[in-house]
Structure 1
Amino acid sequence: MASVNALVITGYGTNCHEESAYALRTAGAENADIVYFSDLAAGHVRMDDYNFLLCPGGFLDGDDLGAAQAAALRWRWSTSKDGTPVLDQLKTFFDNGGLILGICNGFQLLCKLGLLPAVGEKYFERQVSLSYNDSGRFEDRWVTLKTNPASPCVFTKDIEYMEVPIRHGEGKIIPMDDATLETIVNNNLHAVQYVDPETREPTQEYPYNPNGSPLGIAGLTDPTGRILGLMPHPEAYNHKTNHPSWTRGTNPDFPLGLAMLEAGVNHLKTQ
């Protein structure tokens, strides 16, 4: 059984790295190192020592230039002291079977790097972006999610519904064009959707869909299923007492958000 050695990237405004690393360890990862991107870029740490990459939430660079835009440029142009571009390390990491999870700001980063949705397996070519919520304000609430059973995503395996918190101001998915959205749907790359908690069907209705994302899309995967990005925070629901209704016993019998991280860890351990 393979060991899971996780890398959690922080720095430049990221603020969810501690709970992300904790959630990974709770999910069964043998190791979860919190590493500043600057140390990765300097060559003090190398990605080939890991098999699970988590890009957590936060406010990268204060969301200047647009959410995660500056960070995407940093990933594209940083080169370590030995002359190895960080992006080459990332490509090798993925080609060697590594898993990548991007949460909130991390999802925005993966989209702007072109790792998601990678329609037609065109990696590192931007096909979608994320823009301001239709409400025009920062949304901080719990949402109900439905996973797509036809999706290849390894992180959503055996999960049907979840309740998890969201906290973002730029979460609306904007495809490059209508054809891109159609291809995403036809290939089941829409891994997670916001749903009405009563009907449990994907919705555009606010506040169940907190940002107005088309088709209620809350998260995307790539054609291999080894990359997932989503706006909600599964790592923030790692114990039953995190749920606002736990003392009243009114929360649905859904799995913890931790189940997504556990699915990723179990995938690596069975390879």
Structure 2
Amino acid sequence: MSTRRVVVTGASSGIGAATVRLFRQRGWDVVGVARRSDRLAALAAETGADVFTADLTRQDDVDALRDYLAVLGPVHALVNNAGGAMGLDSVEDSAIDDWAWMFEINVLAVKRMTSALLPLLRRTLAADGGSADIVTVTSIAGHVAYLGGGGYNAAKFAAHALMEVLRLELNGEPIRVIEVAPGMVKTEEFGLVRFGGDAVKAAAPYENVLNPLSAEDVAETIVSAVERPAHVNLDLITIKPVAQAAPSRLARGELTVRAEG
């Protein structure tokens, strides 16, 4: 079989960049997609991945990416990783613009990319056989609500529903639909985006938490799911650090065994 190609969005940092690196280490051709050309150029130089600069909230950019991929060659997998949170305000007080941005990047961008790349995945399957994959990185916030999560919860719940419906729609085709729902992941940018660049607020959720997940932990989960035998579909993978039982239930400090009695 020829080398397989995967498209990874949100590739300029965090989980996306780690996923690009790991797929390349495993011998895949990779196209990393993100808004920041300078970071993509550095990632390309480091890994040998192809890169494409695009804002996935713009349909013209997604169309241009689709056209580029159609010329580049077969596409076997899509990883919808681009996403993010904005603020921790209540439903009553939160800014509608923050909600609109969260829906654009967490939901509508996934829809745009899925609609754009499904014909390319089918073209590859028709020519080469085998199977194809659509992976979307959501969050445990898409399964369990928490205070302050209103807009992000709503967006990730919607992304989860999108994947559930897509799996029903594609039943009968050799295309796996995989949802990866991480809990607390410590990356360099998620909190900074959520809190408008406030580094103190961005660091606070991780304070005294033993071993929050890393971007590499999630990347390993994504790549492992895609590399399962073609008849095995890991529909929904929830991954959390041991210190986190739920979005609102987090142990801080050393994990210790309870005394008997």
Q: TM-score range by the shorter chain?
A: 0.3 to 0.5
Give the TM-score of the pair, scaled to structure 2.
Answer: 0.40
Q: Which has the higher strand share?
A: 1
Give the TM-score of the pair, scaled to structure 1.
Answer: 0.39
Q: Which has the higher helix share?
A: 2
State which structure, 1 or 2, has the greater radius of gyration over its C-alpha atoms.
Answer: 2
